[in-house]
Structure 1
Amino acid sequence: MNHNLATRLSGMLLRRHLGLTPICPTSTTRSVLEFSYPASRPALTGWLKGNSTLPTVNNEQKKDNLEMEKSSKAVVSSYWGINVPQPRKEDGSAWKWNCFRPWEAYTADVSIDIEKHHEAKTFMDKFAYWTVQALKVPTHLLFQRRHMCHAMLLETVAAVPGMVGGMLLHCKSLRRFEHSGGWIKALLEEAENERMHLMTFIEVARPQWYERALVFAVQGVFVNAYFLAYVVSPKLAHRIVGYLEEEAVISYTEFLKDLDNGSFENMPAPAIAIDYWRLPQDSTLRDVIVVIRADEAHHRDLNHYASDIQCQGHELKDAPAPIGYH
């Protein structure tokens, strides 16, 4: 076998693994084979031994190929050894959400105190508090009682601090060769929980183009600002988030008031919310807002607690982090 023929055969085999279809063979070289992926190895072996005809695939092989094609739609190619599980609900029905899995669902603790407030006494606390008060003025002027639009913007911003803080603590843990006390996971859980709030709201209301543009602008500024704030002073950054979450609790309380007095339609709860918070099937939007407000209250306490630890001269790793929302 000359060098050119060996090269072509190698390229043919590589194309077979990639699922590509080579060109038809010629009568002179017979070095390239036309076949449908996946082709059978016995047929290919027979052709390599000198058969002048194209490999044939019997009915049984066609059936196997069809089954492989069907399964390839749900499972990543076994070439990489990746098998994507297909989770199901407890009742055996199909799980249709790719953004979270059944074992990530939970029941929110709605008994948490929603009236709790951290009194700003130190200069740092007052700076954080009045920074948040200044930031909420333009949002209230813009959205007023349009709660759904306000909530979508709020959640796109609220999901940033946990991710930024978790990333920076992750890098710090790598640099110092030390544990994080569970805070990396706690902050990333917070970010994921806030993101699921947004995934719920977009099932109810689709944002307009100008609202999407506003999210781009606000998030672009806030990500960089919070990153710098966390690098300079993590305790200040956590205190700011604590006060932001206090405002979120207040905003959702106002949302509930308008739902109760009929100013906003109390529609059925989105299916994703029912599965994520394990709500009853007949739940309404009001039930969803109640559990989201409880989540925000937990985030409030988490970030104020993180700031208090560092204000006392300790690092986060010195105190265990509250993991999860169960």
Structure 2
Amino acid sequence: MSSRMAGSAILRRAGVSAGSLFATTVSPAARTDLGGGRGAWVRMMSTSAVSPIKDEAAKVDNAEAAKDEGEKKDVAISSYWGIDQLRKLARDDGTEWKWSCFRPWETYTADTSIDLTTHHMPNTMPDKLAYFTVKSLRFPTDIFFQRRYGCRAMMLETVAAVPGMVGGMLLHLRSLRRFEQSGGWIRALLEEAENERMHLMTFMEVAQPRWYERALVIVVQGVFFNAYFIGYLLSPKFAHRVVGYLEEEAVHSYTEFLKDLDDGKIENVPAPAIAIDYWRLPANATLKDVVTVVRADEAHHRDVNHFASDVYYQGMKLKTAPAPIGYH
């Protein structure tokens, strides 16, 4: 849309027509000062000259309004901010891209060849404390969700998306305070949080949470966010170790999920469309394929956070150890 069209559109929204801007208004005092002849000239301008201008402006407005209506068909509206997106996005096959929560260049193919059995042995006291903390959190989760792995995954992802955001935020602020580089860790942790959020968006299509499960998410997220925030301020290495063990438990949970799918205890329904586009899965992908790639993601997050904790244990800062690239 040209600047002229945009200006007309703004005026129309404000309730001001283009013709009204050209209307000539003269005060009684001005007409007295101008005299009879000049006053007659002003009256002539206000009746004869302004009318064609109004008519011409109305024609322009009508033409531009019709053109705007045609352009609106090509405009994609973001469901969150309500921002007009003039640029169309498309898949590789040329079909329209319908997702506003992620873009085509943010998709990837998961590395499912990663070792799923890796476990960090807790040797030091902080490691043992982190391991015990995670194991103690698993017990009430098993009781509450039992084998309802769809809702269990939903709860897990609402928690798993918190550490990357908290860690990335605090590293970002420290980088600003100390005028130092982050070694790529800010981006790595924020991408981890985004990846976990996409896991949640996917499982929301698979399992519709009940009202008390939604209420539980609010409580758990509020407690966990503040606890992890304080924990990261006190000891980043301990905080990353906790996340490493959380991801180990996530790998175990998704493995059990896959076993129930193989045994027929859970119906292997078609994969949600959002998962097919996000992980570049085949069009005939199923829920089993989705759980497989999600489990691979969790295994990568496990290794990244254990590595981050090891870096801190060695007396180094994350800025001196480059972050893993493409760890999804």
Fold match (TM-score > 0.5) = yes
Aligned with residue 325 of structure 2, among 316, 323, 326: 323
- CA drift of 1:60 comes to 6.3
Q: Aligned to 1:17, which of 10, 22, 36? A: 10
Query: Residue type of the partner of 2:10?
Result: H
* C-alpha displacement of 1:218: 0.2
Give the deviation of 1:208 after TM superposition.
1.2
In 1, Cα distance between the equivalents of 2:72 and 2:207?
A: 34
**Structure 1 pair 270/221, CA: closer, same or farther in 2 (3 Å)?**
same
Q: Name 1:173's counterpart in structure 2.
A: 175
**2: CA distance between counterparts of 1:19 and 1:146?**
54
Q: How far did 1:66 drift?
A: 2.6
Q: Is the 8 A contact 2:76 2:86 kept in 1?
A: yes
Alignment map for 1:100-179 (pairs within 5 Å): 100-179=102-181
Correspondence for 1:89:
91
Q: What is the TM-score normalised by the length of structure 1?
A: 0.84
Distance 1:19 1:60 in 2: 12
Aligned to 2:263: 261
Identity %: 61
Q: Is the 8 A contact 1:106 1:278 kept in 2?
A: yes
- In the alignment, which residue of structure 2 is the partner of 1:203? 205
Give, in whole Å, the separation in 2 of the partners of 1:302 and 1:228: 21
State the secondary structure of the residue aligned to 1:50: helix
* Per-residue deviation, residues 104-134 of structure 1 (Å, max 9, x unmatched): 0000000000000000000000000000000
Conserved? CA contact 2:244–2:306, under 8 Å: yes
C-alpha distance 18-208 of structure 1, shift in aligned 2 (>3 A): farther
The amino acid across from 2:62 in the alignment is K
The CA distance in 1 between the partners of 2:280 and 2:154, in whole Å, is 22
Map of 2:220 onto structure 1: 218
CA distance in 2, matches of 1:305, 1:60: 64
CA RMSD of aligned residues (A): 2.4
Please state if 1:310 is matched with 2:303: no
Q: Which amino acid aligns with 2:287?
A: L
**What SS class does the counterpart of residue 54 from structure 2 fall into?**
coil
Aligned residue pairs total 292
Q: Give how far 1:204 is off.
A: 1.7
Cα deviation for residue 64 of structure 1 reads 2.4
Q: What amino acid maps onto 2:163 in structure 1?
A: P
CA distance in 2, matches of 1:130, 1:257: 26
Question: Hey, what's the Cα distance between the residues in 2 that align with 1:205 and 1:70?
Answer: 39
* Whole-Å separation in 2 of the counterparts to 1:193 and 1:84: 27
State how far apart, in whole Å, the 2-side matches of 1:58 and 1:16 are: 13
Q: 1:143 & 1:70 partners in 2: Cα distance?
A: 51
The aligned residue for residue 236 of structure 1 is: 238
Q: Which residue of 1 aligns with 2:254?
A: 252
Structure 1: give runs of 5+ residues left out of the alignment: 1-13, 23-32
- Tell me by how many angstroms 1:63 deviates: 3.5
CA contact (8 A) 1:185 1:323 kept: no
Q: Distance in 2 between matches of 1:168 and 1:94?
A: 38
1:47 maps to 2:46:
no
Q: How far has the Cα of 1:203 moved from its partner?
A: 1.3
Q: CA deviation at 1:91?
A: 1.1
SS at match of 2:23: helix
Distance 2:287 2:197 in 1: 18
Q: CA deviation at 1:207?
A: 1.2
5+ residue gaps, structure 2: 1-6, 25-44, 78-82
